[in-house]
Amino acid sequence: MVVDTEDLFNPELTYESFLKEHGVDPEPPRFRVVSIETVTCPEDGVPVLVTECGACPGFVRRMEGKIYCRKATKTVELT
């Protein structure tokens, strides 16, 4: 996501959308590129932030781009 730090009313754009609209890479300090990691919880199918997984009682570990959960029968792969 690309965030405009000077104009709070400008919507956040994906990197690809920003390139298409502006034709150039986002330049700091005005534009900030942020990475947001989300996954789908294997227990209930709800999208969550990766950082929220650590608070889940079923969370075991995050290793090599995967999240391992105790109660889930499968591993969630980060993309």
Instruction: Give whole-number Cα distances, 26 to 1, 32, 63, in Å.
Output: 10, 7, 31
Mapping DSSP to helix (H, G, I), strand (E, B) and coil, where does residue 62 land? strand
The answer to whether 42 and 68 are in contact (CB under 8 A) is no
Give the Cβ contact number of residue 76 at 10 Å: 19
**How far is Cα 32 from Cα 43, in angstroms, rounded to an integer?**
34
Per-residue pLDDT of the chain (79 residues; tens, 9 = 90+): 999 999 989 999 999 999 999 999 999 999 999 998 888 888 788 898 888 888 888 888 888 888 888 765 555 666 5
Q: What pLDDT is attached to residue 57?
A: 84
Say whether 3 sits in a helix, a strand or coil: strand
